[in-house]
Structure 1
Amino acid sequence: MQAKNNRHRLGLLFVVFAFAAFLDANREPGNAEAEFYHEVARATICLHSVMEKPSLETIQVLHFLSIYNTISGNELAGKETSMETPWSLVALAAHLAHTLGLHRDGLKWGLSADVTARRRVVFWNLFVADVWNSLETGRPPTFSLPYIDCQFPGGGSPDGNGHIDTNREVFWGSWTFRFASSCVADVAARTLTSDSPSYSTILELDRKVCNFPVPATVEEFAATASGAIPMKPADKDIGLTESVGRFVMSISREVILLYLHRSFFAQAIVENPINPLNSSYTPSFLAAYRASLTILRIVKVHYDLHPKLTAMFWPVWTYALSAAVSRVRNDRDAWPTVTYGLQLNGRAS
């Protein structure tokens, strides 16, 4: 058992090396060293079946391989970008997490505080990946909240009231996990069913997402991106971790809102192409319009701050392209926005 764990632990080390090489600002994306470590990590975890007595390292390396394939655009089969391999790796990791009982909190089993803390981090990061992959692929999520009592890293349970800890050490991770469990999971559960959700359900989910609290710094970042307030000189000097945290939190809400309203946005245009504001789906038309514009502005602000890093993550540009397409209307005023979105994609490529 120990030898097998060491093999998967070694695979985890190599995939971390792959990330380090891939994200090195002094190298070109998709460099040979990153791919070398990626292939070594894949080979290492195959030295022992991941299905037989998996460990935390087994689950972590599968999850990290999924992330690497997502950001690198290097599909295992065919060297091309798709969601199949990342989705399959996350799904496998999620099933193995059930094997280890990661959805149940370790303190109830008498595990040490250190082991319990690590289990919580591994589980909730995997939960976030699973539920977002579910929305992006249209497939059912693996985890179901009624069966989960694993506490959030830093404390708190998924059945809490959504309180955001203002401690700067935990505000980034805590918000991501809470938003995924409270909002993203609910959106997936109620929109990916075999029967299409009612419009009242969409509006209810919209209110839930919009009312979910975010840290004040994130609200300020979103307001800056929208042009409501000017950017402070100090905003350009914040650390990379906090900058990325603000970006992820800001864009997450808008992506979910665009996802919720895009079909009814289209129906509003079909119902009243001259003036969609007079259609039955005016709330969706406005929500999708605002979300798409905010996404484009947030991506631009973050690209201006961290151009190389932002350009590396192609999922960001899929959101930007979706937002640009949603802004196309039956009048010429939309075309400057579309051109603006395409220019952003061109600069990143």
Structure 2
Amino acid sequence: MSSDDADSWQRPTASKPACAECRRQKLRCDRKIPCSTCTRRHCEEVCPDGVVTDPKAHSRSRVLITESRYLLDKIDAMQKRLSELEVAIASLRARDESTNVAWEGARGPETRHSNDEAEDDLPSMFGTLTLGEQPQWLGRTALSDYLLDRRSSSNAAKPQGNFLPELDCAFLFTSHPAQDPEGLLASLPLRHVAYNLVKIFFHHIGWLLGAVSQDEVNKTLLLLYSDTGTRATSFPEGLAMHDLAVLFMIFAITYIADPGNNGRNVDETRRNYGLACLALSFDPLLERPTLQGIAAVHLICWLMYLSDDQNAMGIAYNLHGLSAQLCKSLGLHRDDSAWALDEDTKQSRRFLVWDMALAVVAIGINFGRPPAFTMSQFDARLPVDTEAFLDPATSEWQQSIQAWSHGFTSSCLLRVADQAFSPRAVSYATVLRLDQVIREHPVSPMLRTPNVGKFEPDIPVTLAMQRASVMIITNKLLLNLHRAFFAKAVSEGPDPTQSKYQQSVMAAFRAAFYITATLRTLYERVPAVVRFPHFWSPAFSACVVLVSVVIKCPTCSLASSAMGEFERTLAVFQRVKTESRTVARFMPTLVTLRDKATKSWAPAVQDDNLSRPELDEDEMAFIYGATRVVRAGTVTSGTDPANLRPEDSDYSALTPVSFQG
């Protein structure tokens, strides 16, 4: 045999050996890295040189992964089937309506309206319509502080903090094709600063805002910075302008909301916000919407919330509505399982649309306006919870805050907005059924608050804020659900717990108590929560509910607890009013309500018959949004002005007028 023949004969023996795990298990190996056998057995992390050290643990892990995927598919199928059944029930009701009308015509009027009596005696709650230079409409579920008169709140003490000025949104309607987009690269911070800001954002803030993936942001950083720390001087291939806009918005939000900072860095926030808007203007979002572009606008909306500016809230509502339409233009609201998309793309689309759904529906309820997403047009699948884990100490499955918020939006928020907050009259049975749905929605043990109102100094800051978010989001929805029925019961007699709406009375009282107690303990643990106005606005609505019990029903069994909790929460508001424009704006109203509650509470304690103050029409609007029209500071309501008492006319702090939106 020649030497050439020997070489050709020996060459096959020089190929790569089988991986260590395949050799140990005596399995066929295709010698790839990782090999298909290890990939199929879910142990690709040990390929090619390692082996599975604990086969039993690995087997359990495989079983958990398989079962979780099976359960997710089953949940999706059940949700789809549930939607089909709801449509079928609605069609059956519509088909039988003519028969019911004929049957009701044969019955007497007293019998015919017996089932509707509980709803017919409620006032028509169309909300507050403001006319004039800044027209707007606030529905019946609007947060109480949105109804405040900006003229009266201007008399409040001005907070002494460093606040973000009004933000411009012209980026959506302008473009800069003549400018050099590479000029944005020179405005990037140093490498270590950028990485540190991103780390802080996703550790402390990212879970709250959502819509942005840390993996995607890390890819953007790798494109912009070299290993030596230098910034890119030319626009990297594979980097889109909308990616850069997201990065600048992360910088802007971190500078203003980082709980680890002693104060807001307004200058850097405003600078990075301007850079993000400039990046969006280079690639017009309205013409070419992208996932990252929608995420950037979502972050801009959150920056407006965090700016603690009354005018910015209305702008954020409109921008979120626009973002919802952009989501629909990309089909994010539809089930993507039928499309040939890779798994990463599916997860990115699902995460974004469910984070958007939570924000859009929540802010719609805050303003008392219909959301841009409805159940009948929304069938997107829930994303996989990649952060869930099995707690070895308790053997309980712990879900992430994002997975909980997505599930709560799907099961509760969209459903309540569609069935209870629509223009149609809602039956009390529907309210109680939705109440049960909200209360029974599962919360993983890690996100539960074991002792509401009890200070826990050892709990991590992020976990404390996550638990408070779960508690406040849930109870704010319950408070809005029972708001009108609670107000009716309070206005009927001295003891609302004896009303036919007593379940709503207890539910609203309990929800208000949980909101205020949660906020008090959260502020004690995380003082930087004062920078998040969305925690404080629901607390004002809760305080109005508590104090209304004392003013209207001082002798009932709930009055003592309501007065005590109101006083404790008011003390916290007094401490933070110099740091929060939101709190400073509603403090005069709370002080006035406190004075009324004290005057009503004292005769009840002394058991005398002295006259007690009453809630006037404007004050009752805080509770259940009575129909009214505002023209240049004048209030027109369904009540005859002749029936209003002169002593109530000076209570201008509660007159609902418009703010720019």
TM-score (norm 1): 0.85
Which residue of 1 is the match for residue 276 of structure 2? 41
C-alpha contact 2:471 2:514 (8 A) present in aligned 1: no
Deviation at 1:114, TM superposition (A): 1.4
* 1:277 counterpart = 2:497: yes
Amino acid at match of 2:405: T
Matched, 1:17 2:251: yes
What's the CA shift for 1:82?
4.6
Shift of 1:136: 0.8
Using the alignment, how far apart are the partners of 1:48 and 1:257 within structure 2? 42
Q: Is the counterpart of residue 224 in structure 1 residue 454 in structure 2?
A: no
Cα displacement string for residues 260-298 of structure 1 (whole angstroms, at most 9, x for unaligned residues): 1122111111111x1111222111111111111111111
Partner of 2:359: 129
2:566 aligned partner, one-letter code: V
Matched, 1:288 2:508: yes
Higher relative contact order (CA 8 A, sep 6+): 2
Instruction: Specify which of 240, 248, 259 is matched with residue 480 of structure 2.
Output: 259
Aligned to 1:29: 264
- Counting only pairs closer than 5 Å after superposition, residues 294-305 of structure 1 correspond to structure 2 as 294-305=514-525
Gaps of 5+ in 2: 1-235, 387-395, 580-661
Aligned to 1:312: 531
* 1:218-237 Cα distance to aligned partner (Å, 9 max, x none): 34x1x41245xxx6xxx533
Contact 2:248-2:273 at 8 Å conserved across structures: yes
**C-alpha offsets along residues 162-198 of structure 1, whole Å, 9 cap, x if unaligned?**
xxxx644x43211111111111111111222223312
1:160 match: none
* Structure having the higher Rg: 2
Q: Partners of 1:253 and 1:198 in 2: how far apart?
A: 21
Give yes or no for the alignment of 1:184 onto 2:413.
Answer: yes
Give TM-score, length-normalised by structure 2. Answer: 0.46
Q: For 1:190 and 1:135, locate their aligned partners in 2 and report how far apart those are by CA, in whole Å.
A: 13
Q: CA–CA distance in 2 between the matches of 1:313 and 1:146?
A: 33
Contact 1:107 1:113 in 2 (8 A): no
| 4+ aligned runs moved over 4 Å, structure 1 | 2-5
1:237 aligns with 2:467: no
DSSP-derived class of the 1:301 partner: helix
SS at match of 2:457: helix
The answer to whether the 8 A contact 1:21-1:33 is kept is: yes
For 1:57 and 1:338, locate their aligned partners in 2 and report how far apart those are by CA, in whole Å.
43
Name the CA distance, whole Å, in 2 between partners of 1:147 and 1:262: 27
Change (3 A) 1:306 1:147: same
Q: Give the whole-Å Cα distance in 1 for the aligned partners of 2:384 and 2:300.
A: 26
Within 5 Å, give how 1:128-167 maps onto structure 2.
128-154=358-384, 167=397
Report the counterpart of residue 326 of structure 1 in structure 2. 545
Structure 2 distance, partners of 1:300, 1:314, is 14
Please give the alpha-carbon distance, in whole angstroms, between the structure 1 residues aligned to 2:312 and 2:244.
27
RMSD: 2.4
Q: Secondary structure at the match of 1:257?
A: helix
Q: Across the two proteins, how many residue pairs are aligned to each other? A: 324
Query: CA contact under 8 A between 1:105 and 1:120: conserved in structure 2?
Result: no
CA contact (8 A) 2:513 2:542 kept: yes
Q: Which residue of 2 is the match for residue 343 of structure 1? A: 571
Deviation at 1:217, TM superposition (A): 3.3
**In 2, Cα distance between the equivalents of 1:31 and 1:37?**
10
Structure 1: runs of 5+ lacking an equivalent? 75-79, 157-165
| Letter matched to residue 41 of structure 1 | A
Q: Specify the alignment match of 2:122 in structure 1.
A: none
Q: Distance in 2 between matches of 1:285 and 1:198?
A: 16
Secondary structure of 2:282 counterpart = coil
Q: Residues 73 and 81 of structure 1 are in contact (CA less than 8 Å); yes or no, is this contact kept in structure 2?
A: no
Q: Is the counterpart of residue 209 in structure 1 residue 442 in structure 2? A: no
| Alpha-carbon distance in structure 1 between the residues aligned to 2:523 and 2:366 | 23
Secondary structure at the counterpart of residue 195 of structure 1: coil
Match of 2:429 in 1: 200
Farther off after superposition, 127-136 or 17-26: 17-26
Question: Which residue identity does 1:280 align to in structure 2?
Answer: K
CA contact (8 A) 1:22 1:29 kept: yes
Query: Which deviations, in whole Å up to 9, do the C-alpha atoms of 1:39-64 show, x marking residues without a partner?
Result: 22223212332111211111100111
Deviations 1:198-243 (A, max 9, x none): 2222111111111112122334x1x41245xxx6xxx533433333
Please show how residues 31-70 of structure 1 align to structure 2 within 5 Å: 31-70=266-305
- Code of the aligned partner of 1:123: V
Whether 1:247 aligns to 2:468 is yes
Identity of aligned residues (%): 29
Structure 2 residue aligned with 1:101: 331
